[in-house]
A and B are shown apart, each in its own frame.
Chain A
């Protein structure tokens, strides 16, 4: 079998995102990573909802469906339930998955179908030209909120932890190496992988994440977590996090032994619940840095495996269904 190449994954459709959109980078990394996953191209499916994010499937030379707003998660559930053999990727946005699609998202997470959710969060509604979204900060002035948004925003990863997701992670459009690594991690996880991708909408919400993504400020404001490694960050990794009871505290690494520092454990759900709550506005003094990486990962039975097991068990105990037996049922009578 010839190895898949990134070029084979490029479609003949002209990519229509705005120049400078973060989606271009995500598309490129996905097309780079997929050939390395050992999948057959015909077994890959991309399903999207509605939004700029959701134009994604048209640019991937795989099976794809551009569906309806907020429902990609439910469609993917039905697909995976009946075709567990397929590699199913959901592309969605902050509006598509956390507003209209919020309900289907939390149910998919608790059910744990083995699919990958790529949640492009740009903290705005781009395709409809600039309304606020469930992740926009309070007070944001947009077309629909000229006096400033009144909505307290979701913390998407905290919401996903609350829905008992088995894989919770965050990356960014502007760090191709990190993005590629996390795409691979998402694929490798058996269960629903929720990968939030900070994505810059340079037309309607430019710079929403620049403190985390731009060279000048990145090191000071981001915390890249890795399993079994201490939580350290800063220009020279001079800052660290200590867990004081349930409260995370910023410390200078020099003042502490490495063993005092919070060591990231991807399997620790309680600690991950705290880690997702590192959600401060970077402008505040003593703001906690924004973490990126895999926060939590657990192995839990997938829904499709359990569904198939029930079918297999029924066949084992009752024998394969006999249509004539079904039609006649338990009591019949004859007219002669």
Chain B
């Protein structure tokens, strides 16, 4: 017997062992829902090790998906449905499930060995001791059913066990009335050279789906209608994928070769993988011997007239510090992408954080200002890295593009643009326009305070550049005291000048004046937006601005701040943007700091807003 319930939105968390294919089924369910027309927001949460011992707590890998028929901005504060493949997954993630929520349990992962590895006390089995009475528990021996379905298939025990994730996926599709077509297409493509796996995976997928129909347990099916999103054509996108596409697009629209020097590092490696697939765009990817070679080879490419790009995460960016200072002195276009992760040092490679802002703005020897710009969502990575390329090229400067692990791996629907609508990027190599006897001045500046991009191969424009302090316009080495002070201030003014060429700050929600202004940057966007939306619905006088251009700041930030009594800055760090805002505007901004390797929930921010408002 079944009934169908309509839901406006659902938060589902898949959790299992690293070897259980959780990420795969999470991504599949996401794509199927996105194709159906739901809004989606995801949060993959996986451990750093490639394969921790099977069944242990450090080996638990999770994928949280929020999908709905309304606009969504976060992967969900708490889950409605928890799918657990083994005891360790239940132990780890039960706390993320709402009271009265549904647990779908693979009982095959709850044997004595599993319970032991999950650190349950001896003789304790959570499935039997009534500890889960307040939840709706659906028990399925997925392991056994998968094994039975593939009996006689000729596949080995390990291969059969590995496909149990497809059973779960099929069941979930049944539960939410979703078509199997997209996943069947995926299986056919993924295993096209191994047809035996195509057959087995589709069989298991269907077996899971049919289990919903034939089971005698009272089951509820759910309907989650399509969301009313703006008319247009959509695709699903992760932040790293969007970053790669933004780089290719920017180079393409600028008419430049994209040279990408990089070194594998979590969570940025996928950008390299994606770019390496697109050689037919003329993209040259270079897996360098280390982080320093990655950035310096990109500088060499920029010297030759290409768009030089490098990407890494915190520890790698730290290694590139000296080279970024060189790029700044050479005044060449270089984009440095930091997909931030938990620090300091090696930190938490697969967990998100946004604690590299001060490193980007200040982290070099000497007075070394570099423009910094940050993305706020997976699809925004495309536009923001594109903008970073534009600034680098049009202002002849290194530029930091900040992303983080949450948006890099998270996905959402994206109404992607048409190529013809992308903003043109103006590139002007210097031509030899010298009169007879006139000498070329490699550091003579235009109205943007930018020097000419005189690339090797241009007759008559031969010149030398370097990292030593230089005389303005000629570029000759100079140790003159007055010249040095002049040049330091000039380089600062060059970066400030960029503020004339970037958009003014807009207010995301709320009025232009009020009791409280929430300022965010980076991936806190969704959680802040949701929290402020709820507060506004309660008629709280709160507004939200989300800053994309962090250095230089948009010219109107000061004016916006003046109209609010208090300022709250939630950040996934110990206080970084807050230091910049306090210093620049002499305001007593307050911070809300979450440094747990996890994104904010909307609830955490809403509670803080209420606390601040109610104190008054």
Contacts and interface: CB of A to CB of B under 8 A. Distances in A.
A68 B301 contact: no
B21 interface: no
Contacts of A310: 279
B588 interface: no
Ordered nearest first, which 9 A-B pairs have the shortest CB separation? Answer: A66-B466, A78-B300, A78-B297, A321-B281, A314-B279, A323-B419, A79-B300, A75-B300, A64-B464
B181 to A, nearest CB: 11
Contacts of B303: 65, 75, 79
Nearest to A62: B462
Q: Interface on chain B toward A: helix, strand, loop, or mixed SS?
A: mixed
Interface string B416-431: 1111001000000000
Interface string A310-336: 110111011111011011110111111
Nearest to B468: A66
Interface stretch (B138-146, B451-459, B481-489): B451-459
Nearest to A83: B304
Interface of A: 11, 13, 40-45, 47, 57-58, 60-68, 71, 74-83, 85-86, 103-104, 107, 307, 310-311, 313-315, 317-321, 323-324, 326-329, 331-336
A74 B330 CA distance: 16
B233 A82 contact: no
Interface string B275-292: 000111111101011101
Contacts of A63: 456, 462-464
Given A42-B462, A78-B259, A314-B280, A331 B230 contact: no
A246 B104 CA distance: 72
**Residues of B in contact with A, size category:** 35 or more
Nearest to B185: A331
Contact of A77 (B37, B278, B282, B297): B297
B306 interface: yes
Interface in B132-156: none
23 contacts: A13-B476, A42-B457, A42-B461, A61-B462, A65-B464, A71-B293, A75-B299, A75-B303, A78-B297, A78-B304, A78-B308, A79-B301, A85-B457, A311-B280, A321-B280, A321-B282, A326-B245, A327-B416, A333-B34, A334-B232, A335-B226, A335-B232, A335-B234
A117 to B, nearest CB: 14
Contacts of B257: 82
Contacts of B259: 78, 81-82
Given A42-B461, A333-B35, A333-B233, A77 B293 contact: yes
B96 interface: no
B457 A335 contact: no
Given A43-B457, A65-B465, A68-B322, 12 more contacts: A47-B300, A67-B326, A77-B286, A78-B296, A103-B289, A311-B282, A315-B282, A317-B280, A327-B418, A331-B182, A333-B36, A334-B234
A237 to B, nearest CB: 44
Contacts of B252: 321, 323
A63 B418 CA distance: 39
A42 B456 contact: yes
A47 B300 CA distance: 9
Contacts of A336: 231
A289 B419 CA distance: 66
B523 interface: no
A331 B456 contact: no
A78 B237 CA distance: 30
